Structures are given as C-alpha cells and as structure tokens.
Amino acid sequence: MPETTFEVTAPKSENTELAVYEHPWPVRFCHWVNSIALLVLVGSGFQIFRAFPSFGAKIPQKDLLHWPKAFALGGWLGGGLQWHLTFMWIYIATGLFYFCYQLFSGNYRQVLFTAGDIRGVWPMVHYYFFFGPKPEPRHVYNPLQKLAYSSVLVLGVLSVLSGLAIWKPVQFSWLAWPMGGFHYARIWHFAVMWAILFFLLGHLIMVVLHGWNNFMSMLTGWKKNPEYVSR
Amino acid sequence: MTKAIDSRRFNSTTRRELLKLTPVLALGAFAIPKLQQPLLKAGLGFSDWASELLFRRNHLAPTFSDSEVAPFTTFPINDYDVDDPGVDLEAWTLTVSGAVQKPGEYTLAQIQALPKIRQNTRHVCVEGWDVIGRFGGTRLSDFLKSIDADLNSRFIYVECADDYYESIDMATALHPQTLLCYEMYDRPLTREHGAPLRLTIPTKIGYKQAKYLTDLKVTNVLPRVGYWEDQGYSSFYGL
C-alpha cells in the first residue's frame, strides 16, 4: 500500500519537509485509551494478586512473590477489583473498536504480520541486536515491528479471554478448557500480563531511540521525514 | 505519490488531528478525587449488570469426580470474624420471614426431610484461590417452594450467627445447584464450616456463600446487600 507523501513548504523559506499520514485517529485514540487502561489493569491486577500471591492450593499456601503495595492500585482487594472490573470494559470496548476499524478500513495491512514478512525479520534482528547492516526501510512498519505489534494484539486478546475465564468460570467454562481449566487460566492471565509488560519495555526503548517525530506521529497521525520515504 | 502542502495548512491539519484525541482526556476524571468513587461504583455496577445478563438459569457449574475433590483437611476455613460463633446446635432453628406463606422457625430435621442433593463443585474465593469440595444438602429452591415463598420476589436475604449477612438474587436462589448445605464430605457440617446450615452456591463467589445461617428472608428490598458488598465488593458476583 503506497503511502501518500506530502511536501510541506514554508512560505519564506526554501526548506521543504516530507510528511506522511501514518496513523488514522481511531488507531491513535485506541492506542492512548488502552495505554491508560493497560496501566490501570496491571496496577489493579497486582492488587488482586496480592490477596493470594500464589498459583497453588490455599492449604498449604506457597507464595510466589511478594508484590509491594506501592506498585499496586486500589488500596485493598475490593478497591483493586473495582478498578479492574471498571477498566476491563474500557479495554474490551476500545479493543473491539480497534479491530473493527482496522478490518473494515483495510488499515490492518499496515500492521498485520503476514507470510511475506517472515524473510525480513532476521535482517532486522541482526541489525538491532548483532550490529548487522541496516535493512532499507520501505514501509511504515518493518517486518520485526509488524511481528511485535501483531503479537501484542494477540496477547491483548488472550488477556481478555483468560480474564473472562477466571471472572466467569461457570458461564464461560468452555473458555478455560483450552487453557487447561480454571486453575490454569489464572496462570495464563498472569503470564500474558508479563508478556505484555515485556513488549511494553521494548516498545518504550524503541520510542526513546526513534525520537520526537516518531513519537508525535502517534499524537497527530503525521510523521515528518519518515526514513522510508526518499526525496 | 507526492502532494504539495504549505506549512501553515499542514500545521493546522496536525493541530486538528491532535484535537481529535481530546476525548482521551475524559479518563482523567478517574484521577479527580470527588469523581473517582462514583465512577468506580458505576463501573462495578455495570459489571454486575453484565453478570446478571450472563447468568443462565439452567446452566450448571462444572461438577467433578470424587477423585478430583480436595482432601477435607485442605478445604480452607474462611470467615470474617470467628471460626466458631458458638451456635447451640440442639436449640438451633432457621427463622424464616418475608414474602412466604409459611413463616416461622424451621428445624434442621424439617430441612433434611426435603430431597437431598450431593455434588462435587468448585468453591472460588475472591482472593484468587479455589478448591473442589463435596457438599450435601437440600436445594434452596425446594425449601423455598416448601415454605410457599413468593418466587417473584427479587432477593433472598440471610443473617448468620456471627453477624455476617448476605443476599442473593432469586434466579440464583432457584438454580438447581444452589443448596442449603448441611453436609460436607458426607458428614454433618463442622462448626468452622458453618454448622449447622450454610449456603453452597457454585455459581457465586465464595463470600456470598454464608455460613452459620440463622435467618432467611424473602424480600424485594435489601436494607443491606452483604457484609463485603457494603464495603465495596461486587453485589452480584456470579461466576
């Protein structure tokens, strides 16, 4: 999908900048709403976890880790549940809106990792982690980026499914079944959260490394002088 | 494809695009102390509303084989105050009131005269642990019919010997797995587990399954929802 490049010219200057509209507003809106929702869900999730920081039996109880209260939202179990059961709806609603928008607008092609991207993953990994040559950027997202974003979207879906499986183990008992049952669904929910946090760490490092124009593109939609466009 | 645009128009375009994100700021309402509690209460209320919609009257909670049942000694004893509120088991009766044709005092023998159900079901605690136990008792629906309760009432409200109190919706009360439980592991309830009578509701979270029952009321209005609910826990909390 060729992106339209805009040549931005200042009236009393010879300088021109190139700009590409990368992110339609529904994508940016969902990105920021779900960033906030995710932080609230993680914080309140830890509060809930603190009530029983284990994945074994209650008797005898073997705690997995003690999570400090300072990094938990809600003050107590009831408060944590209030935040969690409120923001899960925001998380689910924006998630559904995002997927519908991407599907019906066709914009999903920008982010969806497909078979054609497989070849391009290793050169990017080679470049980022093993000082390999920089592959020529050709699209808004490179193959490794597509893989990361597509994976985190799958993780987002899994976080909701595993969450519903432990919130409604009777009405949605079929949901817990492929996860190994109710007891394991809780472990899935916890593991998926860590996987998302791992993505978030990499994501934030990349945002810092790629600078202001890249960051602003998620606010205004427009990216100035993207490296995949040459004059 | 390349198009030309002058920088003033470009800047107003990006500004407009940025303004499209202002609805995100609405989430900031959760950071305002005065609004936070009402908003969270509304969110919890919405969750309860959705839970009630998701509840299916005849959908059974998973049941388990005898080999999957946790040993009795590992079935946790949970209460908000004391393990044993000192119920006089000999003199105990269940006081029934509210929208029923036959209010009054009911003995354990009268309750046990109704058909007995035995089921291996999962008990899920709000804290996050769960345990599969064996429960025996009479269907609450059978008892409600035997006392000619108005089944169109909205709630069953119960009070307990340890001053705990709870309520459940009528649909859950009539669910075939909702029991007035007097046996666990084929033996009379021990004092710590709520002797002589407790609620077992496999479609509800643990704190709704009150122990040491003393009073049962069929009603349309709840002056209080439940011990934990009145402190901010979910009112419906169906599983």
Residue A7 contacts B, CB cutoff 8 Å: yes
Q: Which fold has domain A26-211?
A: Fumarate Reductase Cytochrome B subunit (1.20.950)
pLDDT-derived band of residue B81, with 50, 70 and 90 as boundaries?
confident
The residues near B144 (Cβ < 8 Å, ≥ 6 apart) are B100, B151, B156, B173, B174, B218
pLDDT tens for each residue of B87-123: 899 999 999 999 999 999 999 999 999 999 999 999 9
pTM over 0.80: yes
**What are the two backbone dihedrals, phi and then psi, of residue B187, each rounded to the nearest 5 degrees?**
-125, 155
- Terminal CA-CA length for chain B: 55
Cβ contacts of B202 on chain A, cutoff 8 Å:
170
- Residue at token pair 């779900």: A34
Domains along the sequence of chain B with CATH: 7-54 (no CATH), 57-231 (3.90.420.10)
Cβ-based burial of A99 (10 A; exposed 0-12, middle 13-18, buried ≥19): middle
Identify which of B142, B102, B100, B123 has the alpha carbon closest to the alpha carbon of residue B194: B123
pLDDT for residue B99: 95
The reply to whether omega before B85 is within 30° of 0 (cis) is no
Nearest residue of A to residue B233, measured between CA atoms: A78
pLDDT at A45 over 60: yes
Spatial distance between the Cα atoms of B186 and B199, rounded to a whole number of angstroms: 16
Residue A213 contacts B, CB cutoff 8 Å: no
Residue B70 · residue B132 · CB < 8 Å = yes
Domain ranges within chain A, ordered by starting residue: 26-211
pLDDT tens for each residue of A149-175: 999 999 999 999 999 999 999 999 999
Spatial distance between the Cα atoms of A76 and B119, rounded to a whole number of angstroms: 34
**What are the two backbone dihedrals, phi and then psi, of residue A140, each rounded to the nearest 5 degrees?**
-55, -45
Spatial distance between the Cα atoms of A21 and A6, rounded to a whole number of angstroms: 9
How many other β-carbons are positioned within 10 Å of the β-carbon of residue B99?
17
Residue A171 contacts B, CB cutoff 8 Å: yes
Tell me the Ramachandran region of residue B19: left when phi exceeds 0, alpha when psi lies from -120 to 50, beta otherwise.
Answer: alpha
Residue A134 contacts B, CB cutoff 8 Å: no
ipTM attached to this prediction: 0.92
Q: What's the order of all strands across the beta sheet hosting A16-21?
A: A222-224, A16-21, A5-9, B2-6
Identify which of B70, B207, B44 has the alpha carbon closest to the alpha carbon of residue B132: B70
How are beta strands B155-160 and B165-169 bridged, if at all?
antiparallel
The residue of B6, B9, B14, B35 whose CB has the most chain A CBs within 10 angstroms, and thus the best one to mutate to test that interface, is: B14
pLDDT at A1 over 50: no
Residue A65 contacts B, CB cutoff 8 Å: no
Check CB contact under 8 Å for A52 and B128.
Answer: yes
Task: Work out the minimum CA distance from A125 to partner chain B, whole angstroms.
Answer: 30
Among candidates A4, A17, A48 on the partner chain, residue whose Cβ is nearest the Cβ of B3: A4
- Cross-strand pairs, B116: B138
How many other β-carbons are positioned within 10 Å of the β-carbon of residue B202?
24
